[in-house]
Amino acid sequence: MPKHEFSVDMTCEGCAEAVSRVLNKLGGVQFSVDLPSKKVCIDSEHSVDTLLATLNKTGKAVSYVGPK
């Protein structure tokens, strides 16, 4: 599965938790959240646009870093 890395402006555990929840809702994703570096690494067949839209739902600043 393609791996994508996103930069998400998370500042606390609650933010990271919110990101995990929206991704779990989307389904079909495997991901890891790295809070200290504000990175989310997602393993998914979904398009980058879909993932971006999902991450944007949290209301945080999100940017696509690139494939991993």
Partner 1 sequence: MDASINMNSVTISVEGMTCNSCVWTIEKHIGSVNGVHHVKVSLEEKSATIIYDSKLQTPKTLQEAIDDMGFDAILHNPNPLP
Interface contacts to partner 1, rule CB under 8 A? 11-15, 17-22, 57-60
Of 41, 42, 43, 34, nearest in space to 15 by CA: 34
In the complex, what is the shortest distance from the CB of residue 3 to partner 1, in angstroms, rounded to a whole number? 22
| Phi/psi of residue 27, nearest 5 degrees | 80, 165
Let me know: does 45 contact 54? Beta carbons within 8 Å. Answer: no
- Cβ-based nearer residue to partner 1, 47 or 56: 56
In the complex, what is the shortest distance from the CB of residue 14 to partner 1, in angstroms, rounded to a whole number? 3
- Cβ-based nearer residue to partner 1, 4 or 33: 33
Of 6, 3, 19, 1, nearest in space to 65 by CA: 6
- Cβ-based nearer residue to partner 1, 16 or 41: 16
